[in-house]
Every structure is written in C-alpha cells, then in structure tokens.
Structure 1
Amino acid sequence: MTDPGNEFARLLVRHDRELRRYIATFVPRRDCVEEILQQTAATLWEKFSDFDRNREFVPWAIRFAYFEVLNFRKHQARSRFIFSDEVLSAIEQTHDELASELQHRQMALQGCLEQLPNKDRMLITRRYSDSSTIKSLAVETGRTVKTLYRRLDRIRDSIATCVERKMVSNSQ
C-alpha cells in the first residue's frame, strides 16, 4: 500500500498548476493566490484520509479551493478588488461546465499528438514539454530558425484541425 504522505505530495505536485489557475480565476493578485493555495494544501492534507482513491483528485481538491477562496474573501471583505458572491457563483458554475469540455479537449489533443509522425511529435515535445528554444532546436536539427518556425506552424495547424475534428465527432 502506498504511503498516504507520498501519495498526497505526488497528487498535489502533479495538479498544482490546475489548482493555481483555478484560484487565480477568483483572485487577481499572485501573492493572494499563493496564500490561498497554501491554505488549500493544508486543508487537503487534513482531509486526505477522507479522499476516495477511486475518484478524480482535481474536482475534489477544487471544491476545497473554492471554500478557501470564500474564506479568504471574508477576511479581505474591505478590499474593492474582491468579487461579489454572485460573481463567484457564476465563475464557479462556468468552471464546472467548462471542466468537462477541457478534459475532452485534452484527451483529443493527446490522441492527435500520438497520431503525429515521430519526427513531428519529437519536435513538438522538445519545443513545449522540454521548453527548448527555437534557436537551440534549429542548431540540433540542422535547420534554419525560419524553417523551424514554419514547420512548427504546420504541425500546430495539423494538431488544431485534428482536435476540432475529434471534438465534433465526439459531440455527435
């Protein structure tokens, strides 16, 4: 059986960006986002023994983040940069509606990336996952920067078309 502390840390690190982006939709200041994220992490750790391992971590964690945002707002009520409860509810509802679509888009993207020729997939991976610069990729591949930009544009167009096609076919 997995150590709960390790499992929690792995899940939190893996989904840190998603939680951070979610909180940032409610709170405009980065320092406030960090504060809420830290409090959310502490609350998640306290409640982790209640987490059902058969369910997705992100929706569970986002629920706690939402309540931490509300709690933060109570303490910051005098600030003019705080959204009203109605706006927060609208954002929450919109997020819930779009979360499913985003998940479907990510699955479509993954499928489209897998369909790319190996050279193209490697180029995209190196550029975006490994954060390689165009200049360094040009040197590695022996291509000019201009040629590489054009190739990446074609690959991105191909991926976008593929994702849209998959989204349309999945909605029918």
Structure 2
Amino acid sequence: MAERETFLRLFLQHETEVRAFVGSLVRDRHAREDVFQEAALALWEQFERYDPRRSFGAWARGIAANKILQRRHQDRRFPVTLADGAVLAVLAAFDRTEEGARGRLEALRECLQKVPEQGRQLLALRYERGLACEEIARQTRRTLDAVYQALSRLRAALEECIRRRLAAGGA
C-alpha cells in the first residue's frame, strides 16, 4: 500500500510537467493523450525500478520520451514534430531546467533565512496567504506606500542574494 501511495503522490506532483513534455513534442491532441496514458501505465509498471535518489520528474520524462520514440518507430506518420535526436535534446533541456529550478529554490530558501522576521512576515502575508497590499497595510498598520516599498526592497534583496549564491555556485 505504501508503494502505491508513494507512486500516486509523485505522479500527481509531476503530472503537469510530464504532460508539458509530451505536449511539446506531440502536436495531435489524441496522440498526445495516448502517449501520456502509455507513459503513465509504464511508470506504474516500472515503479519498483525507480531510484528515489533520482528526480521522479526526470525519470518520468525519460519513460515518456521512450514511448514517443516507440510510437514513432511503429508508425512513421505519428505526429512528432522532431527527429529522434531532437526528442532527446528536448528531454535534456527539460532536465537542465529542473536542475536549475532546484538550485534557485534552494538559494531562495537560504536567502529567506537572512531576511529579518518582520520582512519574512510581510512576504508570507503577500505570497503565502495571497493578501492584497491594501489588506497587508491594514493588518500591519502601515501605509500602502510603506508596504509597496518594503515588499519592493525585500524582492530586490532576495533577487540579489539569489543571484550571488548562484554565481558563486552555492545553492
């Protein structure tokens, strides 16, 4: 039961990106959905071979790429827009993007730790709770301009911190 739950959690977490990967290569809506379903079934059937030290998203995209290539070799009219080598290049680009996002997220976490508590509270109100600046001003008893200015400075400081961490290779 735990294996099934783990698979479902990981699959649902990465479903959108796998669909995006397949959609970037297969233009026909019906063929795209067929490939996605075949890939989903293969993911479940091969889940015991998944190495949890590896990104599930990268593993899932690799299986989806194999399904696309299999379909293309079985049917030359299969609506894939790129040659086999280009399919693999797109797969590599998705993997690099995922690695970069992971690095940026880790840098953001580390940079947020350096933000004073009051600043973290403002960021949480705006970006975690999704409050409008007017509501934040009311709740924190600040002027609207003060909230705008504080958030702008916090974003700029975080952006600079993240840029420095990534440039130094320390994410």
Q: Normalising by structure 2, what TM-score?
A: 0.72
Cα displacement (A) at 1:165: 0.7
CA 1:65–1:124: 2 relative to 1, 3 Å: farther
Which blocks of at least 5 consecutive residues in structure 2 are unaligned?
A: none
Cα displacement (A) at 1:84: 1.8
Cα displacement (A) at 1:6: 1.0
In the alignment, what sits opposite 2:120?
121
Greater C-alpha Rg:
2
In the alignment, what sits opposite 2:148?
149
In the alignment, what sits opposite 1:96?
95
In the alignment, what sits opposite 1:19?
18
Moved more, 69-78 or 88-97: 69-78
- Matched AA of 1:126: L
How many residues are treated as equivalent by the alignment? 168
Q: Provide runs of 4+ in structure 1 moved above 4 Å.
A: 27-39, 68-79
CA 1:138–1:60: 2 relative to 1, 3 Å: same
Partners of 1:57 and 1:155 lie apart in 2 by: 33
Partners of 2:165 and 2:67 lie apart in 1 by: 36
Partners of 2:33 and 2:112 lie apart in 1 by: 33
Moved more, 28-37 or 98-107: 28-37
Superposed CA deviations along residues 112-157 of structure 1, whole A, max 9, x for unmatched, are 1222112222322332233333343333323344432322221111
Following superposition of structure 1 onto structure 2, how do residues 102-117 of structure 1 map, counting pairs within 5 Å?
102-117=101-116
Partner SS for 1:131: coil
Cα displacement (A) at 1:37: 4.7
Q: Normalising by structure 1, what TM-score?
A: 0.72
In the alignment, what sits opposite 2:65?
66
Partner SS for 1:15: helix
1:140 equivalenced with 2:139 (yes/no): yes
Partners of 2:147 and 2:31 lie apart in 1 by: 40
